[in-house]
Amino acid sequence: MVIDFKNIHLGSLINQLIKERDLEIDRVCKFMKCTDEELAAILSREFLESNLILKFSILLEYDFFRIYSHHLILYSPPSNMSYNQNTNVSSLPQFKKNLYTKEIINFILELINIGEKTKQQVIDEYKIPKTTLYKWISKYKTEIHKIN
């Protein structure tokens, strides 16, 4: 399954993982300290509060925050844009935008492999350097065939 990193419906993704892990609803409700009805309402929502995301991440042993990180990597403007420049230095940790995880690489290569996007579309839309994309294709070409 390919996650649509552009249109994230977190409730349905969490619900899907609960079903895949074959967790009892009673156990989930007990952990989340909610009723069946409240859980159903939470899982129907597209967006969740960070404390709920954290609890589901712990319960399901899956980093749901990383889905949003992938969205930022794929869809936010490059960090060197002039309107993003600020002379004030923050005390918060600084993260590099161009750190591509294995999941992102697989996502991009699968889009190309299934014909949803061309190489040029990937380069243009996601601002991935041409040399980087071609290195991925060369490096992971055996894995691309395993995906299908």
pLDDT at 143: 56
Q: What is the pLDDT of residues 80-122, one digit of tens each?
A: 555 545 556 667 666 555 567 788 888 889 989 999 999 999 8
Residue 57 has phi, psi (to 5 degrees) of: -60, -40
Task: Please report, for the chain, the start and end positions of each structural domain, with discontinuous segments joined by +.
Answer: 10-63, 102-147
pLDDT value for 79: 54
Q: What mean pLDDT do residues 30-38 have? A: 95
Residue 55 has pLDDT above 70, yes or no: yes
DSSP string covering 42-58: HHT-S---HHHHHHHHH
What pLDDT is attached to residue 148?
46
Q: Averaged over 125-133, what is the pLDDT?
A: 86
The reported pLDDT for the residue numbered 2 is: 58
CA nearest 27: which of 50, 61, 60? 60
- Label residue 129 by pLDDT band (50, 70, 90): confident
pLDDT band at residue 16 using 50, 70 and 90 as cut-offs: very high
Query: Under 8 Å CB-to-CB from 74, ≥6 apart: which residues?
Result: 5, 6, 104, 107, 126
In the DSSP assignment, the letter for residue 35 is -
Rounded to the nearest integer, the mean pLDDT of the chain is 82
pLDDT at 127: 81
